[in-house]
Amino acid sequence: MPSEKVLMRGNHVLGEAAVLAGCRFYAGYPITPQNELPEYLSGRLPQVGGTFIQGESEIASINMIIGATAAGARAMTSSSSPGISLKQEGISYLAGMELPAVIANTMRGGPGLGNIAPSAADYFQATRGGGHGDYRTPVLAPSGCQELAEVTFLAFDIADKYRTPVMILGDGMMGQTMEPVVFPDPIDPKDLPRRDYILDGCKGREPRAIYSMILDINLMYQHNLKLLEKYEQITANETRWDTVGTDGAEIVVVAYGTAARIAESAIEELAGRGPKIGLFRPITLWPFPTKQLRSLSENVSKIAVFEFSAGQMLEDVIMSVGDRAEIYFYGVPGGIVPTPAEVAGFLSSVNSGDGKVGRRIEV
């Protein structure tokens, strides 16, 4: 049975959803604005026989979850932007060793130490690998607390199914916002399919080794091809997106996460005043719903991209849309969260072409 409806803030939703999804190991290092997540798990995980460790650093924490997942646990770490940079080496190892794990990034303004305000400036880092080597990380970008709960379950499932690290990409506003949530049915880790590659001692079988170093270039080449095939499967099977009112729309806004909710409010404000405006919301940022956005762009005249960054998802939109529709961009970096009225102003400018808010992107 799904849970009763409860009122929780995003960081707690993520923690509770992880536990209900069978996560039994968490390690992390404090960083604002996601501290409520480790604080929540420090009390919650021991209740279900799980382990919480406050690591001495983000680097130690990601390596602790490498060990935990290799030993068979559903494992998660979390951080905010600067801390996620420190975890990138470990994420690359997880990809190379083909180990499942979930990494949550509650994004804040950057680069450098930046600030602690909501931002979405880590899109490139999340979707382009971040760490070294030929690999991809599935990235899930929920919009609001209810979807955050559902996506957390999905993240662990994708991680296990494809033996890959998966990132949940939120922002400081989602982490702090309190909303009503109904959690999916809890998963008992004992009911999960047994992973036949974990390390639990070689009793009754040949010893196993988990590693990512492959010195033979032909074997490394084969390993890279195997990973590539996996990423193609993930693209084919796991691409997720949502649309609101795109049928018959002249303008379609492309936005994800918290920005998508602000865009939705802006669209509502403008309803009945001017052309019909729809919303296209990627839920997986990698794999990006390229084909879906491309086919949508055949039938609209203008695509309006809105994100909390100087223009990162914009590049995926340009690659998807090309010159099928005019592309406009309104990006607000630095941790500033525009109001629905400001985004409505952008959409009015897109409609009129007055160029007052946002800018036209020449492709």
Partner 1 sequence: MSGEPALKYEKVFGRPESLKDNYTHYCPGCGHSIAHRLVAECIDELGLREKTIGVPPVGCAVLAYNYFNFDMIEAPHGRPLALATGIKRTVPDKFVFTYQGDGDLAAIGTAETIHAANRGERISTVFINNAIYGMTGGQMAPTTLLGQEATTTPGGRDARYHGQPIDISRMLAVCDGVVYIERCSLSGVKQIRSAKRAIKKAFRCQLDDLGFALVELLSPCPTNWKMSPKQAWEWVNKVMVNTYPLGVIKDTTGYED
In the block, tokens 């959409």 appear at: 347
Residue 59 touching partner 1 (CB under 8 A): yes
Q: Is 45 in the site for partner 1 (CB under 8 A)?
A: no
- DSSP for 65-130 reads HHHHHHTT-EEEEEE-HHHHHHHHHHHHHHHHHT--EEEEEEEBS-STT--SSB--TTHHHHHS-S
Dist. CA 105–CA 337, nearest whole Å:
18
State the minimum distance, in angstroms, from the CB of residue 17 to partner 1.
20
Sheet holding 251-254, edge to edge: 241-244, 277-282, 251-254, 302-307, 326-331, 359-361
Distance from chain centroid for Cα 332:
19
Among 115, 212, 243, 290, contact with partner 1 (rule: CB under 8 A): 212
Nearer to partner 1, 112 or 207 (CB): 207
When asked if residue 186 is in the footprint of partner 1 (CB under 8 A), the reply is no
Comparison of 53 and 313: residue with beta carbon closer to partner 1 = 53
Residue 119 lies near partner 1 (rule: CB under 8 A): no
Residue 70 in contact with partner 1, rule: CB under 8 A: yes
Residues in the chain: 363
How far, in Å, CA of 139 to CA of 283, rounded?
8
Least distance in angstroms from the C-beta of 55 to partner 1: 7
* Residue keyed to tokens 């690359």: 92
Question: Which member of 11, 34, 61, 164 binds partner 1 (CB under 8 A)?
Answer: 61
Among 6, 35, 72, 82, binds partner 1 (CB under 8 A): 72
Q: Residue holding tokens 């400036």?
A: 121
The correct pick among 112, 193, 201, 272 for binding partner 1 (CB under 8 A) is: 201
Q: Please tell me the distance from the alpha carbon of residue 71 to that of residue 201, in angstroms, as a whole number.
A: 9
**Pick 59 or 116: Cβ nearer partner 1:** 59
Helix-helix angle 81-97:58-70, to 10 degrees: 30
Cα atoms found within 13 Å of the Cα of residue 209, Cβ hemisphere only: 4
From candidates 67, 82, 184, 275, binder to partner 1 by CB under 8 A: 67
Give 181's strand partners: 6
CA–CA distance, 97 with 63 (Å, rounded to integer): 12
- Interface residue with partner 1 among 29, 93, 306, 329 (CB under 8 A) is 93
Position among 9, 14, 21, 24 found at the interface with partner 1 (CB under 8 A): 24
Q: Is residue 192 at the binding interface for partner 1, with CB under 8 A as the rule?
A: no
Among the candidate windows 11-19, 69-77, 120-128, 239-247, which touches partner 1 by CB under 8 A? Answer: 69-77
Stretch that binds partner 1, among 209-217, 289-297, 307-315, 324-332 (CB under 8 A): 209-217
Q: Residues in the site for partner 1, rule: CB under 8 A?
A: 24-25, 27, 51, 53, 55-57, 59-61, 63-73, 75, 89-90, 93, 97, 199-204, 207-213
